[in-house]
Structure 1
Amino acid sequence: MAQVAFTAVVLAWLFQKTDWPHLLQRFEEMDPWWFAAAAASYAANISISSGRWWIILRALSRPAPIAWLWRLNWVGAYFNQVLPGSVSGDFLRAWYTRHQARGMPFALAAVFSDRFIGMGALVGIALTAFLLGGRHVALLPGMDKTMAVVVAGYVLIVALILTPWLNFLNTHLGKVGNKLHDIRLGMAALLRHPKALAATIGLSLIVQGFSILTFWSLAQALRVHLDPAAVWLVWPLVSLFLALPVSFAGWGLREGLVVLYLGALHIGHDAALALSLLTGATVLLTSLPGALLWFGIGHHRLSQHPAIEASENPR
């Protein structure tokens, strides 16, 4: 309920500042070809990221068929958009791969590693854009402090995963501590697997490239001219913040941040709000096939039995 309330309050505040005829006119004049390109780009984002998950599971010696992971990736993307929190679909992905991962802790470790490495790609893109952005970056309010916190936070989490500092969880928190310990060990095993880590980072950069392309294509559809700082710094940073479970599927939080940052780059309130709303709608609509792929998934052999294809046996 708190997430719904946050979303409602932020959107209400933004809407009362909106010129509705102007906003609606932007949607009416939207270029459908650019919108279709954006939807195709986001579909590529969902599909290609299943390959990253596949690499991670193999690196943990807990492989699963790529077609199964592709289906679950679409299902997870759908439920991330329609359930409270921004990671509901991720927990669902872990649940349906618990047999292949031989337990929920390693299934969660694989899914969290998938999400975490994707976030690392966003941090890298945003940091590069911040360092190379020039005078336009200086226009963004508090961006230097924000980037410092984001980078420091990510580095700290990596350090906690790789070091034994959290081993006390195993002895002080009982069964919960054991599960958290197993999740951390699973993620640490991936971070110590150079080839798999390099492959997932490379794939993450491609996946996030499609996310950026989606945002840019929607700006073209609405005829909103975006500064490079908006494309390469603002959107990756907003995407990172959307992982925070403070709003319903990112609604409200995304709109507030986009209006704030694009406004600093001299893009009007209505144009920025239209772009953010269209981005959210595109993500939701493109994720809808996940609802169809979810039907009957509980009866799929891989959701019920630990056995997997002979060709996918651990090395």
Structure 2
Amino acid sequence: MFRSLFKKSHVLLLIKLSLAVVLVWVLLNSGQLDFRSILVVFDNLDLFIPALVCLFLGIVISGFRWWLLLRATGNNIPLGTVLNLQLIGSFFSTWLPGAAGGDAIRGVQVFRLLKNGRSTALLSIVADRVFAMIGLISIAVLVSFLLPKAISPDAEIFQYAGLIQTLAYVLIGGMVFGLLGIYLALRFSVIDYLPIKIRHYLHPFGVTILMYLRAWPTLLLCLAVSVLATGIVIIGMITIASIFPYAANPQITAIAGVFGNLFSVIPITPGGVGVGESVFSRVCAELAARAAPFATIYFSFRVGMLIVNIPGMIVSLFYSTARHRKKADTLN
């Protein structure tokens, strides 16, 4: 009993929760975060509701991208079903602090839906996560062209411009070397020289990659969809920021939002709580060259994400109820 309560995963979750609490406490004590001023978003529903629409559309558009990736691997799941699973996954990623995130939930549901092609379907979730990252970096690159005209003359822009360039180079280099590695592996049949067990595990990856290479027009469409999904979420964040009188320029908010979202993905705390706020606040403060409770804006964005993921909770309950009914019918 004692061991079950203190499993490694539970200890790790406790550490992450503690770190999140510490980061939020530091933000509050340093004046970067003000919980009371968050309530102002509910007094400006003319801006907050359109922002929520943008955030929700970002989730739906991301679901459309995942549907495209599934179809590219021959898994023709109806678009409505994929969007439902996307809503469920987004809900679990946003609301629950446990180790089983939204991607794991999507994987479990897809595994239950399919009898064939399960491996390629599960790998499509990995591909979807990669395209989400590509969308973030692409938006950062696009906004960086407008950034010099929007920042304060005293701002430290070079480190952020350099970081954006580095991320873009790493992304492009990774794609080039990845494609080159795949070509060489296929050209010289490298997999044939590996042990049978390793070949067995690598086979689904090889099949999935070949399917994606053959469906390269779909991948280009997924790239465009990723930029659209990220862009509309950033627009929602800028709209939320416009509610606060101390907000930075839209370009600065966009860059800070991209970095905040990028660092929130790193599993340091559950959902990146405290991490995204800290990064967002620092970027805004340095680029705007002034102090303000910028973390409040990102936390308000997080509140908005909680609200727009309520439909995912409803869909999750519907799926759970439908599954129990089906199981009961089978037993009867």
Q: Which TM-score applies when normalising by structure 1?
A: 0.82
Q: Structure 1's 133 and 192: CA in aligned 2 closer, same or farther, altered over 3 A?
A: farther
The 2-side partners of 1:168 and 1:31 are apart by: 59
Q: Pick one of 16, 23, 40 that aligns with 1:10.
A: 23
Question: How far did residue 239 of structure 1 move?
Answer: 1.8
Partner of 1:310: none
Q: Structure 1's 56 and 63: CA in aligned 2 closer, same or farther, altered over 3 A?
A: same
Q: Pick one of 105, 111, 127 that aligns with 2:141.
A: 127
Q: Structure 1's 133 and 263: CA in aligned 2 closer, same or farther, altered over 3 A?
A: same
SS at match of 2:272: coil
CA contact (8 A) 2:135 2:230 kept: yes
Partner of 2:299: 277
1:118 alignment partner AA: A
Partner of 1:155: 172
Question: For structure 2, which runs of at least 5 residues remain unmatched after alignment?
Answer: 1-12, 327-332
Paired residues for 1:1-315 under 5 Å: 1=13, 2-18=15-31, 24-25=36-37, 27-28=39-40, 30-84=43-97, 88-98=101-111, 99-100=113-114, 102-134=116-148, 136=151, 139-140=156-157, 142-159=159-176, 161-162=178-179, 163-164=181-182, 171=194, 174=197, 178-179=200-201, 182-183=204-205, 185-187=207-209, 189-266=211-288, 269-298=291-320
Question: How far did residue 214 of structure 1 move?
Answer: 1.1
Q: Structure 1's 153 and 125: CA in aligned 2 closer, same or farther, altered over 3 A?
A: same
The 1-side partners of 2:272 and 2:209 are apart by: 26
Q: Structure 1's 88 and 23: CA in aligned 2 closer, same or farther, altered over 3 A?
A: closer
Q: Structure 1's 210 and 216: CA in aligned 2 closer, same or farther, altered over 3 A?
A: same
Question: How far did residue 45 of structure 1 move?
Answer: 1.1
Question: How far did residue 86 of structure 1 move?
Answer: 8.6
Question: How far did residue 217 of structure 1 move?
Answer: 1.0
Question: How far did residue 299 of structure 1 move?
Answer: 6.5
Q: Structure 1's 142 and 196: CA in aligned 2 closer, same or farther, altered over 3 A?
A: same
Give the alignment's Cα RMSD to 1 decimal: 3.2
Question: How far did residue 131 of structure 1 move?
Answer: 4.3
Question: How far did residue 112 of structure 1 move?
Answer: 1.5
Aligned-pair identity (%): 19
Range 230-239 or range 138-147, more displaced: 138-147
Q: Which TM-score applies when normalising by structure 2?
A: 0.78
CA contact (8 A) 1:54 1:66 kept: yes
CA contact (8 A) 2:247 2:294 kept: no
CA contact (8 A) 2:61 2:229 kept: yes
